[in-house]
Amino acid sequence: MAIDAEPRLAYRVCPLCEAGCGLEVTLRGTEVGRIRGDREDVFSHGYICPKGSTLRQLHEDPDWLRAPLVKRDGEFVEVSWDEAFAEAERLLVPVLETHGRDAVGVYIGNPTVHSIGALLYTRSLVRALGTANVFSASTVDQRPKEVASGLMFGGSLTVPVPDIDRTDLLLMLGANPLESNGSLATAPDWPGRLEALRARGGRLVVVDPRRTRTAEVADQHLAIRPGTDAFLLMAIVHVLGAEGLVDTGPAGPHLSGVEEVLALAEPFSPEAVAPVTGLPAEAVRDLARALAAASTACVYGRIGTTTVLFGTLCSWLVDVVNTLTGNLDRPGGAMFTKAAAGAANTRGSGPTGKGVRLHRRHSRVRGLPETLGELPVACLAEEIDTPGEGRIRALVTCAGNPVLSTPNSARLDAALGTLDAYVAIDPYVNETTRHADVILPVPSSLQRSHYDLALLQLAVRNVAHYSPALLPLDEGQPPEWEVLARLALVAQGLGASADPALVDDLMVGALVDSAVRDETSPVAGRDPAEITAALGDRRGPERLLDLMLRTGPYGDGFGADPDGLSLAVLEANPHGVDLGPLQPRLPEVLRTPSGTVELAPPLLVDDVSRLRQALDAFADGMVLVGRRDLRSNNSWMHNVAVLVKGKPRCTLHVHPDDATRLGLADGGSAEVRSRTGKVIVPVEVTDGIRPGVVSIPHGWGHDRPGTRLGVAESHAGVNSNLLADDELVDPISGNAVLNGIPVEVAPA
Ligand code: SF4
């Protein structure tokens, strides 16, 4: 280990969650010292949560794999990188050649979105595999919002975010950013931002079956019955229409479908939905009136609104309410970020476009719909374990731990054991990758550069922030992009020793070609060779990022605007570059076929009949919901001692009335059963949960044999996704239902 005489400070963005806090890291050579919030960071201003300071522990985790593993006679053995890729080729190619491209499935886990190398080069791998069987964490999490935004605004990442720094009234449904640090709305320091909202006289209303930490700081908490937010939102639309409160504000000239959506809401009066939501009709009327009367307001819905049977309807209705109250695209309302680099919506060349295409094909076994090029992960297990033509026989996973994070985990766990071949790109032998034949590890976060390509599309302020890698790669370890590129070349049949630069050059070439052909690009019509040459010697994600920044909305346009952004500019600004508060973007942000905000997309209009039917027959009974904790996020964070120490957090929250009725005692154990499985879990009696609802956090259950997660194993907890029913999905998005799962609870 090289030690400098003097410690030095380095800066980087924390890649562990969507908030993207700036960190100040003390380094002595390659030794990492203190990590704290970067007070000069343009977005986070020094805020940090307990996870951010653990990048050193993660980097030094003895369970983090430093060499590839190959399974021989049922045991993992360390091999060289060349041997590992040769083994991947030996296993995958025969499956592809004998059974076709769809015989190899791919699962893309959540950490992929937090790594620029993984995000960009996983695309190449998926393309090289050429399989229709693509799955990701998005269908256990956010696909309803992506689908609803795609249908309304034309792009799956064209998601309006709450302008929390300027709003007067924030209505938050199924979100708990004081524990989760926010999602689909990138904002470091939610506690500070919500405090500021209330300090300036604003109001926070939280709708959640649990009195979460966020609900505790709210002005009003409505303890809704899980899975019924779509009814509440419909009732708000109903009141806005019935009481003549609709005022579409600045978005008005760009809307279609206003009358249709008001007509759809007619049957859903606050009185009609009250027996379903469990909320008093008058409280809902007051809420609708308050949203209409506020000088600025915004509705923000998250996990409790997306991981439910009516997930896409909910996500749509959140923005319907934002629109009908005049708060869409208005400062203090729900606004569109203009990011410096990334997706097509950043440049803004609308309003017309192709929109999003959905349901172009269906899964083999159950006929679940494709969305945005992927199938619902709720059907991954059955696509593996159901015999017949088109069965998935081999799998590639890119990060993630679906055995703990996707529904009916027991079935997926068993199915993975039957695969002919399984290659995992992952730093851990976890509950999922223990089934792999080959594990290709990636460098630690501190050994990777960082730019939040996707998450900055959803930031509540326009910012750009690049972090170089702070530590060198381990001996022989390829960068993450090369691991993915080499595997892509294997999948393409070019062999285990093909040069990953081939993939990189191809990607840059395609992006340059697209930029020079795009009439709205600052490099439209220029010579592709000149642009490529101007990118210099950079390779990998840095070259792609530089290209995206320079051709983006704030870019230097390769000379067109000498003061514009480039990667060099970001490198010179280690605390980030502030590009200002969100600005109105209608209509240029739109990509819908009509060139309008489509408030009544036919797919969603049709689905309202399902909601109407459920109004009369909403199932009763005990239901399970999830729960977040500030010290947890992905399951591998349970392998960091400082994040799991203290009182066990994987407990069953039960209301005192239910505990008495069911004979459960605080500190005792309960057996929780669903259609798919059962768990025995410690009981925590609390009035912070609605009667009729119980809660278990997800991502636990580190008791499977064959893993290498030493710390997590001693804080195993139970896997709540053994209870999540893979048969329950939102039919529009295919998203799994992880909140509102019917369960039976009894003393264990
Ligand atoms: S809030 Fe998220 S980004 Fe910020 S320090 Fe915590 S884990 Fe990292």
DSSP states of 82-137: HHHHHHHHHHHHHHHHHH-GGGEEEEE-GGGGG-HHHHHHHHHHHHHHT-S-EEEG
What's residue 344's pLDDT? Answer: 57
**CA 426 to centroid of ligand 1, rounded, Å:** 21
- What's the confidence (pLDDT) of residue 350? 63
Ligand 1 mean position, distance from CA 52 (Å):
5
For residue 19, give the ligand 1 atom closest to its CA: 3
User: Measured between alpha carbons, how far is 208 from 223 in angstroms, rounded to an integer?
Assistant: 5
Count of CA atoms in the C-beta half-sphere (13 A) of 264: 25
Query: Given pLDDT bands bounded at 50, 70 and 90, which one contains residue 317?
Result: very high
Residue 583 CA to residue 114 CA, distance in Å, equals: 26
- What are 510-548's pLDDT values in tens digits? 999 999 998 888 999 999 999 999 999 999 999 999 999
Per-residue pLDDT tens for 542-579?
A: 999 999 999 999 999 999 999 999 999 999 999 999 99
The H or E element containing residue 659 is helix 656-662
Name which of 181, 154, 504, 542 is nearest 341 in CA terms: 542
Query: What's the pLDDT band for 357 if we cut at 50, 70, 90?
Result: confident
Task: Report the pocket of ligand 1 as residue ranges, CB < 6 Å.
Answer: 14, 16-17, 19-21, 48-49, 51-52, 181, 188
Query: What are 163-184's pLDDT values in tens digits?
Result: 999 999 999 999 999 999 999 9
Atom number of ligand 1 nearest to Cα 50: 6
Give the span between the Cα atoms of 363 and 229, in whole angstroms. 28
Q: Which of 162, 298, 276 is nearest to 226 (CA)?
A: 276
Least confident of 266-280, 413-427, 616-630: 616-630
Band the pLDDT of 633: cuts 50, 70, 90.
confident
Calculate how far, in angstroms, residue 376's C-alpha sits from the geometric centre of ligand 1.
Answer: 28
- Whose Cα sits closest to atom 2 in ligand 1? 17
Q: Average pLDDT over the chain, rounded to whole?
A: 96
Mutation test of ligand 1: which of 21, 38, 452 has the most ligand atoms closer than 8 Å to its C-beta?
21
Q: Strands 741-742 and 678-685: what pairing?
A: unpaired
- Using the mean position of ligand 1's atoms as its centre, give its distance from the Cα of residue 115 in Å: 14
Nearest to 728 by CA among 146, 307, 312, 412: 307
- Euclidean distance between CA atoms 551 and 516, whole angstroms: 10
CA 346 to ligand 1 center in whole angstroms: 24
Overall average pLDDT of the 700-706 stretch:
95
Mutate to test the pocket of ligand 1, among 12, 16, 41 (most ligand atoms within 8 A of CB): 16
**Residue of 17, 45, 58, 186 with the most ligand 1 atoms within 8 Å of its CB, for mutation:** 17
Q: How many CA atoms lie within 13 A of 72 on its CB side?
A: 9
Q: CB-side exposure of 702: number of CA atoms within 13 Å?
A: 24
CA of 17 to the centre of ligand 1 (A): 5
pLDDT at res. 4:
52
Is residue 82 within 8 A of residue 496, CB to CB? The reply is yes
Q: Which residue's alpha carbon is nearest to atom 4 within ligand 1?
A: 21
What are the C-alpha distances in Å from 520 to residues 350, 369, 552? 10, 34, 10
Within its chain, how far is the Cα of 276 from the centroid?
A: 29
Instruction: Find residue 562's DSSP bridge partners.
Output: none
Neighbours of 687 (CB within 10 A): 11
- Pull the structure tokens for residue 208: 């959640």
pLDDT digits (tens, 9 = 90+) for 426-475: 999 999 999 999 999 999 999 999 999 999 999 999 999 999 999 999 99
Cis peptide before 587 (omega within 30 of 0): yes
Residues 6+ apart with CB under 8 A from 139: 371, 374, 375, 376, 377, 378, 733, 734, 735, 736
CB 690 within 8 A of CB 741: no
Largest CA distance in the chain: 75
Q: Element (H or E) spanning 446, and its range?
A: none
Report whether 440 contacts 423 (CB < 8 A).
yes
Find the 176 Cα to ligand 1 centroid distance in Å. 14
Q: How far is the CA of 683 from the centre of ligand 1 (A)?
A: 29
Provide the 3-class DSSP secondary structure of residue 641: helix
Residue type present at position 457: Q
End-to-end CA distance of the chain: 52
Poorest-confidence range of 16-30, 224-238, 459-473, 615-629? 615-629
3-state helix, strand and coil shares in percent for the chain, rounded to the nearest 5 = 35, 20, 45
What's the rounded Cα separation, in Å, for the pair 735 and 378?
8
Burial class (CB in 10 A: 0-12, 13-18, 19+), 72: exposed
Q: What average pLDDT does range 589-605 have in this prediction?
A: 95
For residue 679, is pLDDT > 80? yes
CA distance 402 to 412: 8
Residue 355 to residue 351: CA distance in whole angstroms: 10
